[in-house]
Chains A and B, each alone.
Chain A
Amino acid sequence: MSTSVLKFDNVSLSFDGVEKVLDSVSLEMNAGDTLIILGAAGTGKTVMVKIALGLLKSTSGRITLFGQDVTHFTEPQWLTIRPRIGMLFQEGGLFDSLTIEENVAYPLVNRTKMTAEQAKPKVEEALKFVELGHTLDKFPSELSGGMRRRVGIARAAVSDPDLLLYDSPTAGLDPITANRIMALIIQEREIRNATSAIISHRFQDGHMMANFRYNPESKQLERMPEDSPLRQRTRFLVMHDGRIVFEGNERELDASRDPYVSKFSMHRSIH
């Protein structure tokens, strides 16, 4: 029996009391699941993951994290549960005034009693994983967009969270850099075995997550076998105007005839 990691029951959010930015969203993620959240800009994807992290408060509905009802958590209560979640922010969220090393060490130093010295080996390992071992003393402004994204991934994953949320990891990147980031996320999923949710507007990202795994022996991505459990556990959501308009696996996504949904499937050109 798999354990529930994140559960939304009819979660809605409205900033101005009139227009619903999130409209009765229900979803569930179990341990080991991969969820790919697709949708055009402004459809509420970021808002949804920020609610899951307690950064925004829903207007109605119920949110459960790791089996705990967190709907009415206060900020101090959230502080106890957030260390179990790693988040890559769409706009980066790297601290301008800190070096790359200090940025990646931040979750360790700030939340545990670890000193910067003690954190250093883990920080170096996390940065080496994203192939940025040489940038420890640089500042975020000195790195390219793709590199900053990778630092963000390292910071999200450095504390070994149980749930990883990637908000638009490939947005604004060229296709080559974007594929490299996706390869890292697939690698991260394989090695940490964390439950992950990936927001994207590119159908290729979902396709990669659903069909490829990282082989630690050959150190390369390889196509998953048809019966791989990972394949079963990869699901797609399509968001439209604050609502979930599609939920299912890749085959079902490809088969959808809905003009909006099929924009996000591999075989969109056929329809």
Chain B
Amino acid sequence: MSVAHDHDHGAHDAHHHEMSFIEKYIFPTDHKYIGKQYMFTGMFMALFGGFYAYVFRMQLAFPNMSVPFFGRVSPMEYNAAITQHGTVMIFWVAMPVLIAAFGNFLIPLLIGADDMAFPRLNRLSYQIFLVSAVVLIASWFVPGGAFGGAWTAYPPLSADARYSLTPMGSSMWLIAVALEFAAFLLGGINFIVTAMNGRAPGMKWNDVPMIVWMICIASILFMASVGPLVAGAIMLLFDQNLGTNFFDPRRGGDPILWQHLFWFFGHPEVYVVLLPATGMCAEVIPVFARKKLFAYDTVLYTTIGTGVLSFFVWAHHQFVAGIDPRMANVFTITTVLISIPIAEMVFLYIATLYGGSIRYTVPMLWALGFIFAFLIGGVTGIYLGASGADIYFHDTYFVVAHFHYTFFPIAFIGTFTGFTYWFPKMFGRMMNETLGKIHFFGTMISFNFIFLPLFATGLGGDHRRIYNYNNFPELATPDLQNLRILATVALLVLIAFQFIFIYNTFYSMFFGPISGTNPWKATTLEWTTPENPPGHGNWPPDNMPTVYRGPYEYSVPGREDDFWPQNQQS
């Protein structure tokens, strides 16, 4: 046990103590390795999420055709595909990649520590996450099929197998989600504690790189919002399997209770995934504008303000669920208010660009792309927040387009920003710029062609939970159908461009040019490791970094270099 230890030699002992094969190669405790495990598990799950999107988009564009690689899509399969697409993308792609993968990889490196505060807890968190993914995938193949009650799992549909027709699928879905929550609660505690206590000597709170703040604040938001839904998940599980009556009105339950529990979590959750993505922009933009992040403190305060406000907007998802109209007014006001700090943050990033010497590297392109795309998502959110307008917009493709202009930038553009930026630190090699740019433009253009048409079909009346629009004469018009086909074709193009990314990733990982430890000439601590990629412990235990200044000292007048690393004394 550890107490009797001489702390300074802790890192050495790691090399000496006996490790089994599994401990050493399959489940090590090194934070960089666990981060990569999360990263690749998340990207692997994204393949499923993308495949489901392909299946249901094909059905919408070409109703009742036999979809290549899938076959004819039945109504049950269609519902399952939509449900699992949403679930996978939010809980098994955005969360593990943005929070867990980048959090694990970056937090110790950026605060100048050798590992997480609790490495074995960290490994346990990944193992639970892996089990949750296995349970979810297994639920697609059980008798009755996968759960098809949408990612929001509203009762009564989700509460009783007689309605959902998926007796095993619904419960396994719920168990998988609950396990996933447990994994991220453990991971979050680790992140927060590590960032609070494990910082390098000299690193004050305003020397902490923004991405660390963002991931920690996101973890706190997650922790503070998910509790009621954990309780709700237990209650729903009892409704499904014991016959309790929490949520099913036929048995005296209250379905609106679930909606409150779900959205009390669900709205903060969108900021949970948003914050890491904006954090990546905050790291990448100063490096490639060679300019200090504009108004560090204000970025931080807007983030905290957004986080606090995000707990008071949830009922904007329930404007037409029968809530009191006076309540709707309150939630309209809070929803409009929350756009203020978010807009402010966007302005601060643009102000960082102003007057900088901008370099359009691949990570920079992604960061700029994020700001552009997210802006459309945020602005359309304000329309939806007005309860009067939302009576018409609710549950149409306008909402679908809105949240994809937020989630796609977050989950994919944000990830590509961070991934292409830290790739040299993760694998020690550079990615191919040309392929990276082709991938960037291909993805951005096709992404817009998927979701711009959906704003139009939503305004044209497309309800979002319809299997075949031919069954609705007023919606089966060629105008609307052409837009649906356009969106589907654009999706196929977008998927095709991802193969370039996959190729670039794996090719560069093994054959890319060696990057050196600081290819971007950046100031934060991860670029100061003696080895690249950093070895176990990141720095030699007797030579851990000390911090002398803030993270964004670029183009400081009077200095020869245009960057001033945080650990350089003078």
Q: Do A and B bind each other?
A: no
By a beta-carbon cutoff of 8 Å, the part of chain B in contact with chain A is none
By a beta-carbon cutoff of 8 Å, the part of chain A in contact with chain B is none
